[in-house]
Each structure stands twice: as structure tokens, then as C-alpha cells.
Amino acid sequence: MQSQTSYESYLDSMKNYQTTQARIEYQKPFAEKFELIYDKAKEEQIGLSDAKSFLETLSPSEVKTLQKYSGLADSINIDSLSAEGAYNLLLHDNEQYDFNNDGVAEVGIGKLRLAVPTNMPADVRDAYISAMNSLSDKEKLMSMTLTFDSAYLLSKINNEPYTPTNMDYSFLKNRVESMLNPTGGAFTSEETKATIQTFWDAFSSAYRGDTTENETRSDAVSQFLKDLRTKGAAGYLADLNKEKIDKLVEEYKDKLLEAMGNSPEALQEIAKLVEDYKKQLLDEMQEKSEKEKINAGEKTPMVSKNSIVAMFLKMQEEQKTQPLQELLSKTEE
């Protein structure tokens, strides 16, 4: 569940977000009646825990207003709503939120992508909003593709809990780069490229955060993605495992030299121990690989590649403070 502080920070930023004109025109016929319900809920200090109970006190006409104002196709069945779905019905678009942090905002029974993701650092979010406000409605919709979180899709495909991607400066920069300079058979139309470039120019002008560390990380990510495209998922993993084994073997050899010395007899014994250790690691890696193939079943190449991307980005964060520990733990898994 998102904290109250996170929500308040999000609301503070969203005060500046300009809703598309098309959305304003759609809601206009229902806006006056909605505001009466909104004011009533606010006066009674309705929150997540009692939103459903509040909805049950409304007349059928008022519930219909909430349905129309929110743009829901089907009538609202209050019993079927979650706490989040009920509460978001009582809020303006810019106040709706992914309270349970599952990747979508429930509004009634609808599940929506918010115009501004909740998993953005505040400085990135403010610059993002500023940039989006400078665009036309059509350009806004095109630019929103930048914030699609593939982790959400993967969580559904793999039936796993959703772990939100941190949509920081590096994330946006890499997404922009991938759309302006698509590779590996991807395609971006010239119209979309022009829009994304316009967005990025506006975002860069508004962003006040530090980009130094992020740019370094971005270079590493760019090289990783290049290697992944060149070698393929299986090839990249094979090379990655080889690097891990080589490092562990070198560390093991250094420890043996320190303990046994470098006499001819010791060096001969060390060579044998190192070879046995390397063989053990290779056998363990092969065994783990076979188990993963059995457990993976019919997973698609796309899932495998995205899983590797997620793993690499996680490693990039952990390497800042504990590079060796991270290496060892990954190998031991």
C-alpha cells in the first residue's frame, strides 16, 4: 500500500498537470453533478476504508453520474468494487492513484494507466508534467508510451507479484533513445520521433535533477542492451556465467596461494585444486540451467530477454555498494 506521504507528494505535483481538452469536453455534461458528490464526500472525510459505504448512501442517479463522469461503460455494482476502485470513483482524474501499488489505478471495476505514473521520483515527475503540458492532446498520448512499464506485463505473463520500475531520469532517457534510434527490427514513425524529440527537449529544459551518475549508468545499460541484441539472451547469459566463474576461480586461486605459498609443489597442488573447483562450478551451473529449463516450461523468448534486462538493472543498482557480494550471491543462487 502506498504511504500517505507518497500520495500527498503525488497530489502536489498533479495540481499542475493539464488534463487533455478532449477529456474536459467529455466530462463537462456530468461535471456539475459530480462536484456535488465530490464536495459531500470531502465534507464527510471519506477515505479508502469507507468509500464503498459512502457509495451505498448515494441515489441511483448519483451513482450513474459517477459512472458517466469516470467514463465507465457498464453500470456500477458497488458490491463488486475494491476499496481502491470505490475511492477513485469519488476523485478527480488528477487525484486518482494506484493505492495498492499493483501497476494500475482501479476506477470502479476499470483498471487504468494513470496519465502520470506514481513510480517516478518527484523531480522527474515535475519535469515530466511540465513537458507534457507543453504538448498537444495527440502528442501527449504519443509521449505516454514512454512510461509503459514492461515489469507490469511480465508480472502478468509470469503470474508473479509486480515490482514497479523506478522511472527515473535514466529510464526516460533510455526510452527516448530507443524510440529515436530503434534497433533490432524495431520501428518508430517519423511523426512519433518528432513528438518524442519535442517531449525530450521540453523535459530536459524543465529537469533540475543531477544527471551525472545517471548518465554513467545509462552508458552501462546501453552497452548491455547492445550485447544482448548481438549475442541473444542465451548467449549473453552464457558469457555472464563464464565471467562469474572466472572471477570466482581467480579469487579461489589467490586464497590458495596465500595459504599454501608458491613453491613448485604447492603450485602443482593449487593447479589441481583450481581445476577441480572450476569443474565443480561448471557442473553446478549446468545443473541449475537444466532445472531452469524444466521449470520455465513454454516461456517465450521475449520474457526471457526482459527478465535478463530486469536482472541487469537490479545488478547495476547493487553494484554501487556491494559489487563482490552481489557477484557471489548471484552465482550461489
pLDDT tens digits, 198-248: 999 999 999 998 776 555 455 555 555 555 555 555 555 566 666 777 777
Whether residue 51 is found in the same domain as residue 89: yes
Query: At residue 77, does pLDDT exceed 60?
Result: yes
98 occurs within a structural domain? yes
Domain that holds residue 323: 217-332
* Closest to 81 (Cα-Cα) out of 111, 103, 59: 111
108 and 136 in a single domain? The answer is no
The mean-pLDDT minimum among 124-138, 200-214, 255-269 falls in 255-269
154 pLDDT band, cuts 50/70/90, is: confident
The verdict on residue 275 lying in a domain is yes
Which amino acid type is present at position 218? S
- For residues 176 and 196, what is the distance between their CA atoms, to the nearest angstrom? 7
| Domain edge (last residue) among 174, 206, 238 | 206
Mean of pLDDT values over 21-33 = 96
Alpha-carbon gap, residue 40 to 58, rounded angstroms: 10
- Last residue within a domain, chosen from 206, 231, 263: 206
Alpha helices for 159-300 (secondary structure H) = 169-180, 190-206, 212-260, 264-296
| For residues 57-85, average pLDDT | 96
Instruction: Name the CA dihedral angle for 216, 221, 224, 228, rounded to a multiple of 10 degrees.
Output: -160
Tens of pLDDT, residue by residue over 221-233, are: 555 555 555 555 5
Answer yes or no: is pLDDT of 97 > 90: yes
> Greater confidence, 214 or 13?
13
Please determine, for residue 328, whether its predicted confidence score (pLDDT) is greater than 60: no
- Asked if the model's pLDDT at residue 318 lies above 50, the reply is no
Residue 147 has pLDDT above 60, yes or no: yes
pTM above 0.85, yes or no: no
pLDDT tens sequence across 272-291: 887 887 778 777 777 776 66
Q: Domain tally for the chain?
A: 3
- Are 221 and 307 in the same domain? yes
